Amino acid sequence: MIKLYYWLIIVLNLAAALCSAGKYSREDFPPGFVFGAATSAYQVEGAAKEDGRTPSVWDTFSNGGGDVAVDQYHKYKEDVKLMAETGLEGYRFSISWSRLIPNGRGPVNPKGLQYYNNLINELISHGIQAHVTLLNYDHPQALEDEYGGWISRKMVKDFTNYADVCFREFGDRVSTWTTINEPNIFAVGGYDQGITAPGRCSFPFGFNCSKGNSSYEPYLAGHHMLLAHASTVRLYRKKYQRKQDGTIGVNLYAFWLLPLTNSTEDVTATQRAIDFYFGWFLDPLVFGDYPEIMKKNVDSRLPVLTKQESKLVKGAFDFVGLIHYTTVYAKDNPDSLKFEYRDFGTDMAVTQLLDADNPYSIFPEKLPIRPWGLQGVLEYIKQTYGNPAVYIHENGQVTPHNFSLEDTPRVEYLQAYIGGVLDAIRNGSDTRGYFVWSFLDVFELLGNGFGSSYGLYFVDVEDPDLRREAKQSAHWYSNFLKGNVQVDRENISSIAQGHSFVG
Q: Which residues are catalytic?
A: 182, 394
**Please, what is the end-to-end C-alpha distance for the chain in angstroms?**
24
The secondary element (H helix, E strand) that includes residue 142 is helix 141-147
In this structure, are strands 129-135 and 247-253 parallel, antiparallel, or unpaired? unpaired
Residue 228: Cβ-neighbour burial (10 angstroms; 0-12, 13-18, 19+): buried
**What's the chain's length in residues?**
503
Q: Which residues of 316-353 are buried (b: 16+ CB within 10 A; e: fewer)?
A: bbbbbbbbbbbbbbbbbbeebeeeeebbbbbbbbbbbe
Cα angle 124, 76, 470 (rounded to 5 degrees) comes to 100
H-state helical runs in 385-435: 408-426
- Give the 3-state secondary structure percentages of the chain, helix then strand then coil, rounded to 5: 45, 15, 40
Whole-Å CA distances, 62 to 20, 51, 143, 365: 43, 21, 18, 21
What burial class does residue 69 get, using C-beta atoms within 10 Å of its C-beta: 0-12 exposed, 13-18 middle, 19+ buried?
buried
Residue 34 phi/psi, 5-degree rounding, is -110, 125
